[in-house]
Amino acid sequence: MKACIVGGGAAGCLCAVLCARNGAEVVLLEKNEKTGKKLFITGKGRCNLTADLPPREFLEGVVRGEKFLRSAVWSFTPDDTKAFFEDMGVPLVTERGNRVFPASGKSSDITRALDRALKESGVRVELGWEVAKAEKTGGDFVLTSSDGRKETSDVLVIATGGKSYPSTGSTGDGYRFAESFGHSVVKPVPSLVQLLTKEDVSFLNGISLKNIRLTASVAGGKTFSEFGEMLFTKRGLSGPVALTLSAHLNRAGGAELSLDLKPALSPEKLDARVLRDFGERKNADLKNVTRALLPEKLNLYLLQRAGLPPEKKVNSVTAEERRRLVETLKCLKFRFAGVGPFEEAVITSGGVDLKDLTPKCGSRLVEGLYFAGEVIDADAYTGGYNLQIAFSTAAAVAADIMSAKSPAR
């Protein structure tokens, strides 16, 4: 049995190792000059390789494909991922939010462990091998590289990733291969990426906020809300809450974003606090009193959005103006102008349609064809979930390839 695996990322590398350890002849084709280019930059260079959770709780972090992924995640769990790397000699630590990292804080521990596992299990790794065409002729898969080389196999695994961060090699080639085999592809869109706003927020670029609530009301009535940290960028909103919301807004036609800068206080309590501050500094400029509530630039922006002159003396602020101030602090609105581009997106949402895949990620259309990792239409929030999806689907594919029985179709 010879397996060709296209893509030396998280999914392709693990799949190759598991097949080779079980006796298959495996060729891993990677277009870059090294494997794991994207893995290396994950988790800000620290690689958050999984979420330390039992499968049931893990699956709650999945945005698309939860039902489909159940079998793969229960068969190769976050504990299995940890055990794989610990067995390869990489000590791990679990941090806040169940995030698992190499104890060294270096993603290179993970990429090196995979490279070592590939070597030890006897996988033939071909670097600089860009698959340009994949086809099945007779019983064999035939792969042709962009410079005319050929490779044939009994089984083909497409683990080419999505379209995000294309500089790492994930340029969406797998979607083209899938379509050439008759598979449909759910439109890929950027996910875990900044939210662009129609309002110009460039003035606020770099301001980061803690303990805020960002709510998105999507055209059609659905509402999504996240509490935590947020960051203003030149073109919109980023940071954990914005990235999480992007997973729900990346297919939305339109949406309104509402930022609650003081979620711990009800409008009444916030009004009482403002009234108290005003009472203590009656002759001060409004901006100098509200400064205590917000970072400098945001303070000025907020007053402008509330239609309040920053230099107005506090003792001349009317009750209606104070109401506007409180309302803007609780509900600073932004018009959603779409999500950021693939170049900045942590993952791609969409991909090979799950309806034509078995739970082991085998094609229902072409015998011996498999898909693993981000190329399929499954994705999750940040926190190690997406790498675990890559590992679980890779292991499911390897198990199916190596099972004596022919895959259930």
Ligand X SMILES: Cc1cc2nc3c(=O)[nH]c(=O)nc-3n(C[C@H](O)[C@H](O)[C@H](O)COP(=O)(O)OP(=O)(O)OC[C@H]3O[C@@H](n4cnc5c(N)ncnc54)[C@H](O)[C@@H]3O)c2cc1C
Closest CA to 261 of 301, 213, 225: 213
- 226 lies in the site for ligand X, by CB under 6 A: no
Which of 127/219 has CB closer to ligand X? 127
Q: How far is the CB of 110 from ligand X (least distance, A)?
A: 10
The piece of 28-36, 264-272, 285-293, 320-328 that touches ligand X (CB under 6 A) is 28-36
The piece of 1-9, 242-250, 312-320, 355-363 that touches ligand X (CB under 6 A) is 1-9
Which of 191/215 has CB closer to ligand X? 191
- 240 lies in the site for ligand X, by CB under 6 A: no
**26, 43, 290, 377: residue in contact with ligand X (rule CB under 6 A):** 43
Number of residues engaging ligand X in binding (CB under 6 A): 38
Query: Positive or negative CA dihedral for 304, 207, 387, 159?
Result: positive
- List CB contacts of 259: < 8 A, sequence separation 6 or more: 212, 213, 214, 215, 230, 237, 331, 332, 333, 334
C-alpha atoms less than 13 angstroms from C-alpha of 154 in its C-beta half-sphere:
8
- Record the tokens describing residue 225, joined without a space: 């809300």
Q: How far is the CB of 192 from ligand X (least distance, A)?
A: 8
The piece of 42-50, 203-211, 234-242, 309-317 that touches ligand X (CB under 6 A) is 42-50
Which of 62/346 has CB closer to ligand X? 346
What is the pairing mode between strands 155-158 and 369-371? parallel
Determine the longest span between alpha carbons in the chain, in angstroms: 87
**153, 164, 238, 328: residue in contact with ligand X (rule CB under 6 A):** 164
53-112: contacts with ligand X (CB under 6 A): none
- 163 lies in the site for ligand X, by CB under 6 A: no
- 115 lies in the site for ligand X, by CB under 6 A: no
Question: Pseudo-torsion of CA 185, 191, 194, 196, nearest 10°?
Answer: 30
- 246 lies in the site for ligand X, by CB under 6 A: no
365-384: contacts with ligand X (CB under 6 A): 373-374, 384
133-162: contacts with ligand X (CB under 6 A): 159-161
Closest CA to 100 of 116, 78, 70, 76: 78
**3, 4, 5, 10: residue in contact with ligand X (rule CB under 6 A):** 10
Closest CA to 334 of 255, 264, 262: 255
- List CB contacts of 166: < 8 A, sequence separation 6 or more: 172, 342, 343
Q: How far is the CB of 175 from ligand X (least distance, A)?
A: 10
Q: How far is the CB of 25 from ligand X (least distance, A)?
A: 19
- Record the tokens describing residue 200, joined without a space: 């110009």
299-358: contacts with ligand X (CB under 6 A): 346-347
Interior angle at CA 309, CA 308 and CA 311, nearest 5: 135
Q: How far is the CB of 312 from ligand X (least distance, A)?
A: 45
Long-range contacts of 72-75 (CB under 8 A, 24+ apart): 72/359, 72/360, 72/361, 72/389, 72/392, 72/393, 72/395, 72/396, 73/388, 73/389, 73/392, 75/392, 75/395, 75/396, 75/399
Binding site for ligand X (CB under 6 A): 6-12, 29-32, 37-39, 41-43, 47-48, 130-131, 159-161, 164-165, 169-170, 173, 346-347, 373-374, 384-387, 390
